[in-house]
Amino acid sequence: MKNEVDILLDLVAIPSVSALSNRPVIDYALDYLDNSVWHTELFEYRDGTGEEKANLVAMSRARGMLWRESELALVCHTDTVPFDPAWQDAVNPEVRNGDLFGRGSCDVKGFLACILASVSQMDMTRLRKPLAIVLTADEEIGCIGAKYLAGKARFRSRFAIVGEPTGLHAVRAGKGYALGEIIVSGKEAHSAFPDRGRSAIRDAARVIDGLDRVARKLSARKNRNFDPAYTTLNVGVIQGGTAKNIIPGECRLTVEWRPIPGQDPKWAAELIEAELRLLARRFPGLRARFNVKRMDPAFEPSATDDLAKLVQSITRRRPTTVSFGTEAPHMAKLADEVIVCGPGNMGTAHTNSERVPIAELSKCVSLLKLVIERLCE
């Protein structure tokens, strides 16, 4: 029987960036789930480029019966973000100085390795209440698998743990995630004759200044459970112009914001719309339109905190909140109490030195075994 470190070495070596099919990771997990104990169901779809994607729901057969509702669901995404081609060891994982390095080691194959290790070390036939393992596709490109699964909603769970690197803190709330594009239109002209055109890049600079005003308004409304305590806003991508000697005719800005719980994510979009109207009045001829591309709600804390307290009593780490997006708001449609918890530090995820401490992996296995025993036995 492999331990969590050996399983994680296997998992990191399976490339599973979101652009690829996640079937190899799902198949690896299926090999661990004994048919006599687990009832498994796949929820498959094809992504925009035709790649086969699968969500897996595995339900333990408590008391030999087939269930639709679990007491506890362990939820984990199977895809990773892309990696720099210069990082040659991204899918050649290695253990160095107590950490396991590789793409996905902390986000979030480490948690998956802990799930597979813990269930393979336990006698599942002893469980009186069912345990579910839920593996999802395409989390890193917009929680597409989790949304697909929540739409199918063929099962429910009383409790759910969504794996993400939280240093084994139980996370009870998280910010939402919203994304939009601003398209600034100008008029192309030979750059020797600027008066014959209108620079979309110059107007985009005015729009960016306007977004600063929006960000200040957002920062005035606080939720002290978060750091930063307000809805943040970022212009992450700017694209405009065609050549050095052409007055640019178009400039596109990608804007994201992360709404705090308790705040309608539409509010920031309304502020942006209002700002664009103001700019159009202040700078006659400025033309900018705004398209919202995504608006995922915040992860609101559950009414109960039984699971968060149970995890805290085992790890001695206090419950907290996170500012990054997770599948938790989607899973909240399928479970009564959801927390986010897992080994590793999100600060190293999505970087060229992604890693997870080996010691935290083994703590996570002990934690999962205790939580399963406490809730399902």
Q: How far is the CB of 35 from Zn ion (least distance, A)?
A: 29
d(CA 118, CA 367): 9
Tell the smallest beta-carbon distance from residue 18 to Zn ion (Å): 11
**Sheet bearing 131-136, strands edge to edge:** 38-46, 52-60, 131-136, 69-77, 156-162, 335-340, 171-174, 320-322
Q: Tell me, what amino acid is at 159?
A: F
* Binding track over 163-192 against Zn ion, x by CB under 5 A: -x----------------------------
User: Which neighbouring-strand residues pair with 185?
Assistant: 250, 287
Question: Smallest distance, Å, CB 275 to Zn ion?
Answer: 32
Is 139 catalytic? The answer is: yes
Q: Two tokens at 158?
A: 């009383």
- Beta-strand pair 287-296/52-60: unpaired
Q: Are the CB atoms for 121 and 1 separated by under 8 Å?
A: yes
Question: What mask, x for binding Zn ion by CB under 5 A, covers residues 263 to 292?
Answer: ------------------------------
Asked if residue 286 lies in contact with residue 279, where contact means CB atoms within 8 angstroms, the answer is: yes
Identify whether 228 is preceded by a cis peptide bond (ω within 30 of 0): yes
- The site string for Zn ion over 102-141 (x = CB under 5 A, - otherwise) reads -----xx---------------------------------
Residue 110 vs 261, nearer CB to Zn ion: 110
Give how far Cα 86 sits from Cα of 30, 83, 219, 352, Å.
32, 8, 38, 9
- Pick 80 or 199: Cβ nearer Zn ion: 80
* CA–CA separation, 187 and 214 (whole Å): 27
Assess whether 123 carries a catalytic annotation.
Answer: no
Instruction: Supply the minimum distance, in Å, between the C-beta of residue 218 and Zn ion.
Output: 25
CB of 344 to Zn ion, least distance (A): 10
Using CA atoms, how far apart are residues 207 and 264, in angstroms rounded to an integer? 23
d(CA 217, CA 271): 8
DSSP state of 33: S
Residue 189 pairs in a beta bridge with 247
DSSP-assigned beta bridge partners for residue 156: 69
Give me the least distance between CB of 53 and Zn ion, in Å please: 16
Q: Scan residues 78-107 and list those touching Zn ion (CB under 5 A).
A: 107
Q: How many CB atoms lie within 10 A of CB 315?
A: 18
Q: Which of 4, 47, 71, 79 is catalytic?
A: 79
Segment 315 to 374, residues that bind Zn ion, using CB under 5 A: none
- Smallest separation (angstroms) from Zn ion to the CB of 342: 9
Percent helix, strand and coil across the chain, each to the nearest 5: 35, 30, 35
Scan residues 149-168 and list those touching Zn ion (CB under 5 A).
164
Q: Which is nearer to Zn ion, 164 or 203 (CB)?
A: 164
Cα separation, 305 vs 208, in Å, equals 41
Give the dihedral sign, CA 341/347/353/359: negative
Please identify, using beta-carbon distances, which residue of 110 and 240 lies nearer to Zn ion.
Answer: 110
- C-alpha separations of 324 from 82, 91, 152, 166, 257 in Å: 18, 24, 25, 11, 11
The count of chain residues that interact with Zn ion, using the rule CB under 5 A, is: 3
CB of 202 to Zn ion, least distance (A): 39
Marked catalytic residue, from 4, 71, 107, 139: 139
Residue numbers at the binding site for Zn ion (CB under 5 A): 107-108, 164
> Would you name the residues annotated as active-site residues?
79, 139
